[in-house]
Amino acid sequence: MINIETKLSGDVLEGIDKFEAKLKDSVIFSGAAAMARVIYDEVLLNTSGLRQTGAPGGPPGVKTGTLHNAVYRVYSSDNSSDGVKTYHVSVNKAKARHWWLIEFGSSRHPAHPYIRPAYDHIDQAFKAGMDRMRERIAED
């Protein structure tokens, strides 16, 4: 019987820890980006007019495309940390000042939500995120 004992110390351990942290960070980042992409794509689809029903509570129609062109997805470094990556999917309120009238309606106009229905696809978003993280782990 042969016994082999190996000890790692100093720079090697530190290097392994840094590599692990970088790998973990990039995998989580990729997963969060994939999740946000699903929601973003749904909001874009809901503001494109392709799902328009004309019925109250249905996706909005498109007159100028201002709302559709104001939808964005962005990484939030302020709300992110090690192990937590945050993306925002929203509407640029300076470009589409009427965003809330369409989403929530008013006393004169019915609501035609486009953000809230996108959240119904959260299960798809989680699946896309998990799939992307698996891909990233397999790559590295």
- What integer pLDDT is reported at residue 83 of this predicted model? 78
Q: Where are the domains of the chain?
A: 12-139
Q: What is the mean pLDDT of residues 113-126?
A: 92
Q: Return the amino acid letter for 33.
A: A
Prediction pTM value:
0.77
Lowest mean pLDDT segment, chosen from 30-39, 59-68, 95-104, 121-130: 59-68
Q: What percent of the chain has pLDDT over 90?
A: 46
∠ CA 20-35-44, nearest 5°, is 150
Tens of pLDDT along 44-103?
988 887 766 656 666 677 778 899 999 999 999 999 887 789 999 999 999 999 999 989
Radius of gyration of the chain (CA): 22
Q: In residues, how long is the chain?
A: 140
| CA 67/CA 45 separation, integer angstroms | 12
